[in-house]
Amino acid sequence: MNVDSMNQNVLTERRVSSRADRFLTIPVVMGLLVMALIPLVMTIARWVPDLTIAGAAGWVQHLTLWLGLLGATVATLRRRHLSVTVIQLFNAHRFTPAVDLIAGAGAVGILICLMIASINLVIAQYPSPENLAGWFPIWLAQSAMPVGFLAMAVSTVVASAANWRKRLLLAGLSLLFGPVLALLPESLYQFITIPGSIAILVLALLGMPLYAVLGGAGLLLFFTMDIPIAAVSAETYRIVTQPVLPSIPLFALAGSVLAAGGAPQRLVRLVQAWTGWLPGGVVLSTVIGCAIFTAITGASGVTIIALGGLLLPVLMASKFDRRFSIGLLTASGSVGLLLPPSLPVILYGIYGHVAIDRLFIAGLVPGLLLILMLSTYSVYRSRAQKNPRPPFDLNEALKATWMSRGDLILPLLIFVGLFGGFLTVVETAAFTALWAVLLEVVIHRQLDLRRKLPAAMMESAVLIGALLAVLGMSLGLVSYLVDEQIPTKVTEWVVSTIESKFVFLLILNALLLLVGALMDIFSAIVVVVPLIAPIGLAFGIDPAHLGIIFLANLELGYLTPPVGMNLFFSSLRFERPLVEIFSTVVPFLIIFVAWVLLITYVPALTVDVVGMFQ
């Protein structure tokens, strides 16, 4: 194929993707607005009894499902789903088209199976009289699932192949990854578990999206046990029954709007104005700025992408070498994950059955401790290099504070609303999202209503879709583990084998380090927490302490190969090989290890702090 033909294929693919993207913008924007407004109305209704919305909680929860499916489709079109491929590790880019074709075929095959499973779920629900808000049939609400999985399958075909001939080939190959299994005789079911598992593992290494890996594993396990595969879709639907889960897309909306509206620039200016004159002020502002932004957005990758380009030139202008600067930015990307309103903390609270406000309090000191440890090391490096420091400018500091006044209200809103008991987590998230929109559209006027705000909302939909796709598919796998009583069996074995709580904690750290190196933090929470939570209780470990240990280890996992997410984001942002990126974070990795051990073996850092607020 000549160059002109290849370019024409790429342009055709982009046009198809762009048209679909524009078509989805209106329902995404409207869905997010309604989802944010309903909790606000219900908050006001506490003082205005006549103001109410029938089935408000149910509508918000189902909007989470519908927006998740829409966002997952957008993420598919933009090729933004979480995945890991060996091509990234070996730099074998010439094999990328063939690998994309195979991984895409696997994802489409699994999506077709999920669509069939969802249709079966809807059919089973149809006779039920259960309604949403007393009038909207639940089966109709569930019908969004087969439609959504079909849309994702079609989007995968479009996004994974460069021309229509290859797309037809991909669609044909997809039939081998799932649908054909339904035609096998029952006598062969017991023989496909091992080869099926190997196939899913290979597809995962080739870059098949993580949601398809987890969904495929759940489908395979239920199928070989002769349990209706509709159970996987049922577990995916069950995600809407989680009352706190809608806070995740709302906080994600706030983070995307702030990132697009100039909050990173204002934040960097504010922190540099107040700390830049101190010894190591530039690195202090880097660590603190990244921590605040990560806490608000809940995603370290967003921090590296948004702040990396701003802060790398600043660090290098202050005479820090590129190697140290990239290492610091990569490590700082996940520093704020224990601080409110971090999405991983909320998610752990949901699946670990721990009060979310209690988790945030427990994570406060460990989160600040990590900032202190990274800052101390970085300041030491600054003193050794005797970097020049600008004088303190009170006028600039006050101007920067005034420009950031709206941003500074956000943490105050979260603390007062959530910890003061005035707002629920979902209501706090709704107020945060509303304030972010008002801040960037009305106060700073950085986002116009026609183009930039919808674009920021679509970006949040990508994050929501990629995250909820993983969570929904993870639940199917977790359901299998529960049905097989795996958590109970593991707990009994561990308790009978390990007598010391401290030995268990050491083994737990090693296990979670491995988990963090192989899984992203969100899927790890859903899959692993149900396994370790009962074991922690058996050893008398406070649930909040266990949660912070878990999340801290996953923060460490962000920097650990082969699947440390910060390494990939940093490699993408700074255009450096993965091996080089990892070499830059080694000193910071040592700091993270020491920090994790402190949190693990000094429970006073978490439990005692929680006790102070009770």
* Reported pTM: 0.84
Average pLDDT rounded to a whole number, residues 490-511:
85
Residue 419 pLDDT exceeds 90: no
- 36-40, 95-99, 252-256 — which is least confidently predicted? 95-99
Residue 272 CA to its chain's centroid (Å) = 29
Preceding amide of 341 cis, omega within 30: yes
Which residue did the predictor score with more confidence, 137 or 528? 137
* Percent of the chain whose pLDDT exceeds 70: 89
Question: How does DSSP assign 99-114, residue by residue?
Answer: HHHHHHHHHHHHHHHH
Which residue did the predictor score with more confidence, 316 or 456? 456
Can you tell me the distance from the alpha carbon of 362 to that of 25, in angstroms, rounded to the nearest whole number? 39
CB atoms within 10 A of CB 614: 6
| 3 state DSSP class of 305 | helix
H helices of 81-163, in order, are 86-90, 96-125, 138-142, 144-160
Average pLDDT rounded to a whole number, residues 112-141:
92
pLDDT band at 10 (very low <50, low <70, confident <90, very high): very low
Residues 6+ apart with CB under 8 A from 177: 105, 106, 108, 109, 110, 199, 203, 216
Q: Return mean pLDDT, the chain.
A: 83
Q: Is the dihedral of CA 349, 478, 302, 108 positive or negative?
A: negative
Can you tell me the distance from the alpha carbon of 239 to that of 300, in angstroms, rounded to the nearest whole number? 24
Q: What pLDDT score was predicted for residue 420?
A: 77
pLDDT band at 241 (very low <50, low <70, confident <90, very high): low
Average pLDDT rounded to a whole number, residues 54-61:
87
Which residue did the predictor score with more confidence, 490 or 111? 111
Q: What pLDDT score was predicted for residue 112?
A: 93
| 3 state DSSP class of 450 | coil
Q: Is the dihedral of CA 369, 374, 379, 384 positive or negative?
A: positive
For 205-225, write each residue's pLDDT tens digit: 888 988 999 899 888 888 877
Can you tell me the distance from the alpha carbon of 367 to that of 331, in angstroms, rounded to the nearest whole number? 14
Residue 6 pLDDT exceeds 60: no
Burial of 143 (0-12, 13-18, 19+ CB in 10 A): middle
Can you tell me the distance from the alpha carbon of 329 to that of 339, in angstroms, rounded to the nearest whole number? 18
**N-term to C-term CA, the chain:** 69
Q: What pLDDT score was predicted for residue 9?
A: 42
DSSP state of 391: P
Can you tell me the distance from the alpha carbon of 345 to that of 452, in angstroms, rounded to the nearest whole number? 30
CB atoms within 10 A of CB 80: 18
For 247-280, write each residue's pLDDT tens digit: 888 888 888 898 888 888 888 888 888 887 877 7
Can you tell me the distance from the alpha carbon of 295 to that of 565, in angstroms, rounded to the nearest whole number? 17
Residue 126 pLDDT exceeds 90: yes
Average pLDDT rounded to a whole number, residues 110-122:
93
CA-to-CA separations, 427 to 239, 243, 424, in angstroms, rounded: 19, 11, 5
* Nearest-10 crossing angle of helices 210-224, 193-205: 180
Torsion region of 262: left, alpha or beta (phi above 0 gives left; psi -120 to 50 gives alpha): left
Residues 6+ apart with CB under 8 A from 393: 273
Residue 447 pLDDT exceeds 90: yes
Can you tell me the distance from the alpha carbon of 82 to that of 212, in angstroms, rounded to the nearest whole number? 10
Residues 6+ apart with CB under 8 A from 145: 65, 69, 114, 118, 121, 122, 233, 236, 237
* Nearest-10 crossing angle of helices 578-601, 356-385: 120
For 166-182, write each residue's pLDDT tens digit: 888 898 888 877 777 66
Average pLDDT rounded to a whole number, residues 493-504:
85
Q: What pLDDT score was predicted for residue 248?
A: 82
Q: Please give the structure tokens belonging to residue 196.
A: 């099926």
Q: Please give the structure tokens belonging to residue 602.
A: 């000094």
261 within 8 A of 439, measured Cβ to Cβ: yes
Q: Please give the structure tokens belonging to residue 407.
A: 């941003």
Can you tell me the distance from the alpha carbon of 258 to that of 501, in angstroms, rounded to the nearest whole number? 43
Can you tell me the distance from the alpha carbon of 374 to that of 22, in angstroms, rounded to the nearest whole number? 43
pLDDT band at 387 (very low <50, low <70, confident <90, very high): low
Q: Which residue has the tokens 């309103």?
A: 341
Can you tell me the distance from the alpha carbon of 486 to that of 477, in angstroms, rounded to the nearest whole number? 11
Q: What pLDDT score was predicted for residue 311?
A: 83
Average pLDDT rounded to a whole number, residues 528-554:
90
Which residue did the predictor score with more confidence, 373 or 512? 373
Residue 13 pLDDT exceeds 70: no
pLDDT band at 492 (very low <50, low <70, confident <90, very high): confident
Average pLDDT rounded to a whole number, residues 192-209:
87
304 within 8 A of 573, measured Cβ to Cβ: yes
Can you tell me the distance from the alpha carbon of 402 to that of 383, in angstroms, rounded to the nearest whole number? 31
Residue 2 pLDDT exceeds 60: no
Nearest to 527 by CA among 475, 480, 467: 475
pLDDT band at 81 (very low <50, low <70, confident <90, very high): confident
Average pLDDT rounded to a whole number, residues 327-340:
87
Nearest to 490 by CA among 546, 523, 539: 539
Q: What pLDDT score was predicted for residue 493?
A: 83
Residues 6+ apart with CB under 8 A from 118: 142, 145, 146, 149, 230, 233, 236
pLDDT band at 378 (very low <50, low <70, confident <90, very high): confident
- 60-74, 298-312, 405-419, 479-493 — which is least confidently predicted? 298-312
* Percent of the chain whose pLDDT exceeds 90: 25
